[in-house]
Amino acid sequence: MSEDMPRLRIQIEGIRKTVMYQILEDREAIQEAVGDVVDEYITADGIKKVIVTEVQRQVRAALEDSIRHFFLYGSGRDDIDELVNNVFRAITKEE
């Protein structure tokens, strides 16, 4: 098995060199693509979309957290406990 290690190392090194060569060869195209994406976001509309998306995500997270807290620690938990107790009472009376 150890005799396979040098061959594997050579193959991995060859793959690494191939990838690096390809990246260097396509450098201009990559820079242009990255530039296009940056230009798309660095506009009034692009920034507005990012802000709106993040605000929506944060509002949703805060709302979900408040609802979770209501049912875990607030009166929602009491309501659920009461419903469960009523069901148990009904079940035990029928038997």
C-alpha span between 81 and 53 (Å, rounded): 37
Identity of residue 12: I
Neighbours of 71 (CB within 10 A): 13
- The reported pLDDT for the residue numbered 14 is 83
State the DSSP H helix or E strand holding residue 41, giving kind and residue range, or none if neither. helix 27-41
Task: Return the domain boundaries, the chain.
Answer: 1-42, 45-95
pTM summary value: 0.51
Band of residue 5 on the pLDDT scale cut at 50, 70, 90: low
Residue 76: pLDDT above 80?
yes
Asked if 78 and 85 touch (Cβ cutoff 8 Å), the reply is: no
CA distances from 46 to 30, 49, 59 (A): 21, 5, 20
